[in-house]
Amino acid sequence: MAFLSGPRLLDWASSPPHLQFNKFVLTGYRPVASGAECMRSLFYLHNELGNIYTHGIPLLGFLLLLPLQIPWRQLSVPWLGLVHYLACVIPQLGSVLYHLFMNHHGGAPIYHKLLTLDMCGICLVNTLGALPIIYCTLLCYPSMRTLSLLTYSALSSYVIFCAITAHSNISRLCSFAWQAAFRFFFFYLRWAGLGSGHPSSLYCYLLMDSLALLGGIINISRLPERLRPGKFDYWCNSHQIMHVLVVISILYLHWGVTSDLTWISSYKCPPE
C-alpha cells in the first residue's frame, strides 16, 4: 500500500489524555480530527493503522465469505446460522470503528461511546458465538437446552454491563470469565460424552477460547512494547498481536460451529 502524507503526528505526552492508555507506545498519535479526517487516516501511517487493518481486512473477508461457508440449506433451525454470522462480524466492525474514530474531535465523550461499542462487540461474539454451541450440545434435551440458552443470555447481559463499566483492561478481561466458565461446562459435557456435537468441534472450541485468552493476556501485559518502549509504536505491539489472535480464534469458532451445524442436519436423537 502506498501511504499518503498525513498531519504531524504527536508523541504520547502531547496526545489527548483519553488516548494515553499505553505509555509504552511513545509516538505516532494522530491529532484530534473530524470524521472525514479520521477516514483519511486509513491512508497514512500512524500508530493505530495496524489495529484498524488487522480487523478491517478480516471484516471484509468475513462479510463476503462466511455466508458461503454456512450450510444454510441444511439448517433446520435458521437462526443458528444467523447468530453465528453476526458473532463473527460484529466484533470486527466495532473494533474498526473504535480504532478509526478514537481521535475524533468530539473528545472523550465520543471516545467512550466508541469504546462501549467495541466492548459490546466483544461481548456479542462471546454471547452469540456460544448459542449454537449450547444448542448442539443439548440437541436431544430440548427443555434443558432452552433453559441453558436463556440462562447464558441473561448472564451475558450482566457481563456486558461489567465490561462497559470496567475501569481497566484487567477488570474488563475478568468480566468475560463468567461466560468462559459457562462455555467450559458445555465443553466438559461433550468431552464426557454427556452432550452431542461433531467430533472435531470440541478441539476447535478449546483452541478458540485458548487463543482469545492468550490475546487478552498479551494485551493487558503490554508485551512486547513494555520491554522496548517506542520500538513497537507502529507494528507488532500487544494490541495488534491480540487482534491477530482474536481473528484466528473466530476462525476456529467458525470451523467448529459449521461442523456442528452440518452434523445436526443429519443426526437423529436416540429414542427416549
Domain ranges of the chain: 12-264
105 among annotated binding-site residues: no
Find all residues with CB under 8 Å of 112, minimum gap 6, and list them.
Answer: 18
pLDDT bracket for residue 178 (50, 70, 90):
confident
Q: How far apart are CA 54 and CA 50, in angstroms?
A: 6
Q: How far apart are CA 90 and CA 187, in angstroms?
A: 24
61-115 residue pLDDT tens: 999 999 999 999 888 888 999 999 999 999 999 999 999 999 999 999 999 999 9
183-195 residue pLDDT tens: 999 999 999 999 9
Q: How far apart are CA 67 and CA 14, in angstroms?
A: 44
pLDDT bracket for residue 169 (50, 70, 90):
confident
**Prediction pTM value:** 0.93
99 among annotated binding-site residues: yes
198 among annotated binding-site residues: no
The pLDDT assigned to 272 comes to 65
The pLDDT assigned to 3 comes to 61
Q: How far apart are CA 53 and CA 40, in angstroms?
A: 14
211-258 residue pLDDT tens: 999 999 999 999 999 999 999 999 999 999 999 999 999 999 999 999
pLDDT exceeds 60 at position 1: no
Mean pLDDT of 8-22: 95
